[in-house]
Structure 1
Amino acid sequence: MTLLIEQALNGLQYGMMLFVMAAGLTLIFGVMGLINLAHGSLYMVGAFACAAVAAATGSYWLGLVASLIAAAFVGALVERLVIRRLYTRDHLDQVLATFALILIFSEGTRWLFGSFPLYLSLPPALAGAVSLPGGVTYPVFRLVIIAVGALIALGLWLLIGRTRLGIRIRAGEADREMISALGVDIGALYTAVFALGAALAGMAGALVGTLQSVQVGMGEPVLILAFVTVVIGGIGSIKGAFIGALLVGITDTLGKALLPVLLQPVLGAGAGPVGAALASVLIYLLMAVVLIWRPQGLYGARA
């Protein structure tokens, strides 16, 4: 039971991290209709900005702020210089252009910071562990990630559903020509949405870089899972991204933890590798089942 509770919390933490990443991705795709493969590079930018500022100032908190600012600034710059030329192009052009951005960001980051990974140290307030009901001891920082993901979900729900900017974002998703004709600066709106999505990716990169390490190319594996999350939840739906991220996070974590244990009586020493391989397939099976049941995703609008 203790193992199950710990892994469920790990799955929840992983899901919240995926949501922070996927929320920006689904916003950009839903509003702009843009397939942005460079979203993982913005995740990497946030992680490196956090590591660099934290190392220079000795403050992890300033590093987190820097991750948001750097990713948002780079995102806005990329949108102005590159992405703006792709809105009227087909998806193949978008994929090729944003894939080129991945290569540019990776080599540029390697040139600036080198090929060796960077590490972040937690401040005392976030270090250590706490005792939870049921005799479970769990790291404070992982609980903080769960709380941050929940707060971001609440903030995005309020932004999209309760503010003038949210109304414009939803209108831009529905009919960009009409709101442009009504006097809304569609270019500024797109830049704001792209910068917001980039900032969320940058924060996710900083949080995950704290748990693991900060290195070149760290955004690509997470990008694949973020796309899976968006497809499961429904393209353009923040609620769908939230539910999809939790499903992916819990399925992946519990699968990797429990499948080797369940297969042990049958396969013996081979249970570990076989269980890990099957666990890696589970999230794609989950996506397939959801798409068979609802081709538009859990909360996506039917075309």
Structure 2
Amino acid sequence: MTDGVPRPGPLRLGGREFPAGCHAVMGVINRTPDSFYDRGATFAFDAALRAADTAVQRGADIIDVGGVKAGYGEHVTAREEIRRTVPFIAELRARHPDVVISADTWRAEVASECAAAGADLVNDTWAGADPDLARVAAEYDVGLVCSHSGGLAPRTDPHRVAYTDVVADVAATVTHLAERAVALGVRAERIVVDPTHDFGKNTYHSLELTRRLGELAATGWPVLVAVSNKDFIGETLDVPVADRLAGTVATLAISAWEGARVLRVHDVAAARLAVDTVAELAATEGKGGSV
């Protein structure tokens, strides 16, 4: 307990419980025409449903639905974001009643509509840019991702960003946001923190966060990592988006070993195998390697 705020035990989202040592794989569904990864492959409603069905079949515990590209691009109004996400979430809820559904949005207005349609988690990657977002999570009794963006406004990129200690800055920010959310009525067991690789960070910062992720896990809040095919992997390996799977899987495995609990990914099958392997390795640690 810190400052009177109870630390969560198992992570509870929707009807699911994820205890310590259990890794939840979050499959990404982009209801956008300009995603950096799939270039609109799941923008169409039916294509998105097929992709979600496949992700669940391949082991996704959570489906994360987004209606706005994270980076620069055409302006998307809240009304258009709702049109892209809310009917899809409602259909996904009907098709997969047991899967955890996440709404990737920084807007309270959108989050409210998504939660009413069946979302179990609000994935805010922009560090509480809309201060009412936590209130929405409390009102609907859904989960909330508390993230770090280095003070950037939504959909902007960092320019010569610098930190004295990026891990310390991230830990302080997400802990503050998590404690604020609890004070506003969000259940501690429904809160996840995300260092938000590449958001408000350069490649060095994202690598440092990965190496020292255990320090963030030590705060006691369940940690989500969203590293799949990101620029820091591409820059480190000097490869385009299409060739970042190996680097992604390696980073996911290290993150899981260091304590990450939720892994947001594009390739669910590869991620599931990677984190299940980490779980088996962790389970046999100290047992002489016998299985």
Provide the TM-score with structure 2 as the length reference.
0.28
Greater percentage in strand: 2
- Larger-gyration structure (1/2): 1
Counting helix residues as a fraction of each chain, which structure ranks higher?
1
- The alignment's TM-score, normalised by the length of structure 1, stands at 0.27
